[in-house]
Amino acid sequence: MGYGYYTYKAKEEDTLKRIKQELLYGTVKILLLLPKNYHDKDFIHNKPSKQEDLANIIKLSKSIEHTNLAYIYSFIQEKNDTILFSSSSATQKEIDTNESDLYSFDAYEDAHLLSLFQNGTVGKPIYTDITDKWRHFLSMYVLKQTPYERKHIVGTDYKQQDLHGLKQTIIHNIII
């Protein structure tokens, strides 16, 4: 029993390390794929058109198509402390059905994100379990700051159900 438990914990730790690397890679992708100085914009007075936003959504979505990531996205904080999605990937179904919350610049209420904007360390990844209206995720957030000192958060999600499935596979492989 002791060997099996040790093997499980070692494989679980390796799996979580790999997932965290994939989450971190997803946050880097966002900044590489969005237009230069994207997060410096005054989005209240100069947000992208619906077509530009959809082009960003498709670009971000295609970049994670063959990964284990569920979503990649970014947030901005307005002067009144309102947090807005500034970009996001989407599932193919969401794109095909043109769901109302597909497009960016919807408000997102989350005390954790507000705290990260106000007290977070720029560049330091924060890992968290989050449940929102979409599902239950293992998420990573990184507070970033543009050269013009505009703060934004980039985030990535990994589906908890996929993580649960990986743990079941580890247990199954140890038993066999």
Per-residue pLDDT tens for 71-105?
999 999 887 888 888 899 998 888 888 765 677 78
- Residue 135's pLDDT band, with cuts at 50, 70 and 90, is low
Beta strands 125-131 and 136-145 are antiparallel
Instruction: Tell me the average pLDDT of the chain.
Output: 81
Q: What is the pLDDT, as a whole number, of residue 72? A: 94
74 within 8 A of 34, measured Cβ to Cβ: yes
Q: Which two tokens stand for residue 146?
A: 């543009």
8-state DSSP, 107: B
| Annotation: CATH topology of 2-175 | Beta-Lactamase (3.30.450)
The full set of domain ranges for the chain reads: 2-175
107 within 8 A of 84, measured Cβ to Cβ: yes
Using one digit for the tens of pLDDT, what is the confidence trace for 24-62? Answer: 999 999 989 998 888 887 776 778 888 888 999 999 999
Q: What is the pLDDT, as a whole number, of residue 13? A: 80
Q: Is the predicted pLDDT of residue 171 greater than 70, yes or no?
A: no
